[in-house]
Amino acid sequence: MASNGHDDFAQTEIFRPEGAPVAADPALQAGEVATLNVRFTGTGSEYFRIWIVNLLLILVTLTLYLPFARARRMAYFQNNTFVGQDPLGFHADPWKMFRGYLVVAAFGLAYWAVTNFLPAFGWLALLVFMALWPMLWRASLQFRLRNTSWRGVRLAFLGDIKGAYSAMLPYFLPALLFVVLLPQEQANMPVDKSQIQRVLTLVGVVVVGFVLLMPWLWKRLKAYQHGGYAYTQERADFTATTAQFYKLYLKIFGVGLLVVTGIVTLIAAGAVLFAGMPLSAFSQGVSAHRSATAMFAIFMVVMALYILVPLIVGSYVGSRMQNLLWSNTQSQRLRLHSALRMGPLLRVSLVNWLLIAITLGLYWPFAKVRTARLKLEAMSVEVDGDVDEWVARASPDTQGALGDAAGDFFGIDLGL
């Protein structure tokens, strides 16, 4: 595979671990099935040096260094991710990412200006956003995959533009309905109670409908995204069903309900204990101190649970969603598996946020490395046959000139 000066950006820095194995996996013989484990060899101390420099340069350049920082971060994490005995490669040109950053920033600024200074044309700005965003999203997926390689062969994203619009546009419908159907606010106009009732009814119907359709919409989005991944002659197929997504969303709702029930129970128990104190406690120094202590304890319980709710529910969602998405992404001779468990993810998340709070944010890069290692090493790749044969038969990029221009010229990476 030919390389250029931009490829060297990722390959000549400190991102490849010293002494890391790069030889072909001896288990991959023709006609055999082998399971390749995923390993992450990055360390918090290494990434901290990259992170702190990136942060300082982003602040000094007023965010203009952001695409270069993203390139360094992506290169570090991908070059330290080993599938079997071989690391992932990263080949993106940060200057192309910079051009894409300017395009997206200008687009976002124009949208903000129209919606704030010309609110009457907000519907037009939303329509333009709806028309462009699926195309930008597809270009981002093309850019990310085309600049990722394994065993010297780059991955690809083969999803078409029609599929991108079909998967993404339904997410804009609630906003479009609000813009089109909700009455415009006018000064010095009396409040019409019937109109308020109609507005509340419309908002309720749209929100409830969107919530009920969310599992189906999310399944369509992920089917397009994961079904477009390709490596050599292998194109992925997403096998998860809509029923599996609805089942997962119901479980998420149940976990959230249990957590909220726990919060209410503890708060109620604290309130009962506090209410059971005699009124004379407020006129006595020692008893008043006890009542203040009880109030402080209740406050701490509420705050602790307020912090724990997103961690508990988030850990459940993160583990189950990763397993659902990647365990149902496969091709004829490549099958991905994920066995991420909620317990380890919750423990890592709790420790991470505790240390981030204690160190005033300086533990953030160490937390990112710990979380990445846990999530990546929960995955494995099952291969059928000789991968070296696939590499030898790998054909040039078949996406066409338009896809290349969208993915490479703008260098758009939306992080999706």
First to last CA, the chain: 27
Cα dist from 397 to 4, 136, 403, whole Å:
17, 20, 10
Average pLDDT over residues 248-262: 91
Rounded CA-CA distance 10/151 in Å is: 15
Measured distance CA(146)–CA(408) in Å, rounded: 9
Q: What is the mean pLDDT of residues 98-102?
A: 87
For residue range 147-170, list pLDDT tens digits in order: 999 998 899 999 999 999 999 999
| DSSP-based three-state secondary structure for 416 | coil
Residue 401 or 338, more confident? 338
Task: Supply the pLDDT for residue 182.
Answer: 67
Q: How far is CA 294 from CA 264, 283, 307, 323, in A?
A: 17, 16, 20, 43
**pTM for this prediction:** 0.81
> Residue 87: is its pLDDT beyond 50?
yes
Question: Tens digits of per-residue pLDDT, 113-125?
Answer: 888 888 777 778 8
Q: What is the pLDDT of residue 13?
A: 39
- Inter-residue contact 141 to 157 (CB < 8 Å): yes
32: helix, coil or strand? Answer: coil
- Tell me if 90 sits within 8 A of 78, measured CB to CB: yes
Range list of H helices, 93-241: 94-117, 122-146, 161-168, 173-181, 193-227
pLDDT digits (tens, 9 = 90+) for 189-248: 555 677 778 778 888 888 899 999 999 999 999 999 999 999 988 899 999 999 999 999
pLDDT of residue 159: 93
Q: Hey, is 174 helix, strand or coil?
A: helix
**pLDDT at residue 174 in the model:** 85
Cβ-contact 338, 322 below 8 angstroms: yes
Q: Are 282 and 291 in contact (CB under 8 A)?
A: yes
**Which pLDDT tens digit goes with each residue over 31-64?**
578 899 999 999 999 999 999 999 999 999 999 9
The answer to whether 75 and 90 have CB atoms below 8 angstroms apart is yes
- Please state the separation of Cα 370 from the chain's center in Å: 16
Per-residue pLDDT at 385: 78
Judged against a pLDDT cut of 50, whether residue 268 lies above it is answered with yes
List of residues 6+ apart from 261 with CB closer than 8 A: none
Q: What Å distances lie between residue 195 and 174, 184, 186, 187, 247, CA to CA? A: 19, 12, 13, 16, 38
CA–CA gap between residue 9 and residue 92 (Å, rounded): 9
Which residues are registered as beta bridge partners of 35?
Answer: 382
How far apart CA 8 and CA 46 sit, in angstroms, is 19
Q: What is the pLDDT of residues 62-86, one digit of tens each?
A: 999 999 999 999 999 999 999 999 9
Model confidence pLDDT, tens digit, residues 295-353:
666 676 677 677 888 899 999 999 999 999 999 999 988 999 999 999 999 999 999 99
Mean pLDDT computed over 360-369: 97
On the question of pLDDT at 28 being above 80, the answer is no
Chain centroid to Cα 141, Å, comes to 13
Provide the token pair at 248: 């997962």
Full DSSP string of 376-393? HTTEEEEEES-HHHHHHT
pLDDT band at 291 (very low <50, low <70, confident <90, very high): low
